[in-house]
Structure 1
Amino acid sequence: MVEVREVRRLCYDFARSTGGTLTDFRVPTVTPNFWQAVIEYPDRTVSVVAANDAPVVALARPRSFDFTPAREWGPLEFVDEPGLIAVLAQTEQFQVLTPADLDRSFVAKEWPHLTRSDVAYWKPSTVGEALFNYWD
């Protein structure tokens, strides 16, 4: 299990070192299964998403965890920002996944920490769907 405190520290350091500002750190109460740090830059906003049950992170478009007015559920839109990914990859405690990594076909035996019954029920087709999802 990954500790939210460690993820929050990583994201704060990442934002500061890349010239961004951590404006929000979203922790869901039940679903989705990931935390999201919203980082604003002068020309864009990105999120560092971190799986709460595996030491993996990625960059994605920010998402609301609110249920109203409309749910924003479904696959995340992962973003490819090589400069930001390179800085994030300097961490030793987390594996940084690129959009290409997350778009690969999901092979359950490569991710043994995932609950087998969830994988069997939800049938994720990509690594991104399996690691960052809204399953209940």
Structure 2
Amino acid sequence: MILQRGITGQIHRTDDRFRKPNGKEFKQLCYALIAQLDGMIIAFTEPQIDTNFFHVELEVIKKRLHLLLNENYPYLAVASEADYFKLTFIDEPTLTKQFAACYTILQPEELDERIQLRPGRKKGILLNENDLSKGELADLLYWQPETVGHVVFNHWD
């Protein structure tokens, strides 16, 4: 997965090919689609000063799950765990097919890709394919995320 400029939430994105997610629309869609699956939304949290994603905690398909939507890109993922630095991404097609028309569904294989940093270099510090800004790269050095998923859905301030 290419880490696009603005994906970390630090700066506004520059890739106009993607429509920035609208929180109100996402919330309405969640309530409508989760109800169709006889599920229930437990909590809906918008991006905060220390997060770059919308977080929906829900009960559906006899499981407690988490929907995560990046604030700058229409990238949606499902997690079985979504605590501060503990994100466990899963594939849940019964749930994600409901959202596929509106969002790009990120798979666990993409999100679990390891971040490869070369400390001590200003240029080429990140070996993963990216278009991140200097400030975003500095954040990666500071926060030391382990996976692409921890960059796309982060708790950095």
Q: State the TM-score, normalized to the length of structure 1.
A: 0.74
Question: Shift of the alpha carbon at 1:62?
Answer: 5.3
Q: Answer 1 or 2: higher relative contact order, Cα 8 Å, separation at least 6.
A: 2
1:105 and 2:126 are equivalent in the alignment: no
Within 2, Cα distance between the matches of 1:14 and 1:100?
A: 25
Which has more helix, going by share of residues? 1
Counterparts of 1:1-136 in structure 2, within 5 Å, are 1-41=20-60, 43-61=62-80, 63=82, 72-89=83-100, 91-92=101-102, 94-106=103-115, 107-109=128-130, 112=132, 115-136=136-157
Give 4+ residue runs of structure 1 displaced > 3 Å after superposition: 111-114
Report the secondary structure of 2:98's partner residue. Answer: helix
Within 1, Cα distance between the matches of 2:106 and 2:99?
A: 10
Question: Shift of the alpha carbon at 1:130?
Answer: 0.8
Partner deviation per Cα, 1:52-106 (whole Å, 9 max, x = no partner): 122111111354xxxxxxxx421311122232223332x23x2111212211234
Q: State the TM-score, normalized to the length of structure 2.
A: 0.66
Question: Shift of the alpha carbon at 1:42?
Answer: 6.2
Partner deviation per Cα, 1:8-29 (whole Å, 9 max, x = no partner): 1232233123221223212253
* Runs of 5+ unmatched residues, structure 1: 64-71
Q: CA RMSD in A?
A: 2.5
Report how many residues are paired: 125
Q: Read off the aligned partner of 1:102 and give its amino acid letter.
A: L
Q: Which has the larger radius of gyration?
A: 2
Instruction: Go from structure 1 to structure 2 and tell me whether the alpha carbon gap of 1:62 and 1:11 turns closer, same or farther (over 3 Å shift).
Output: farther
Identity %: 28
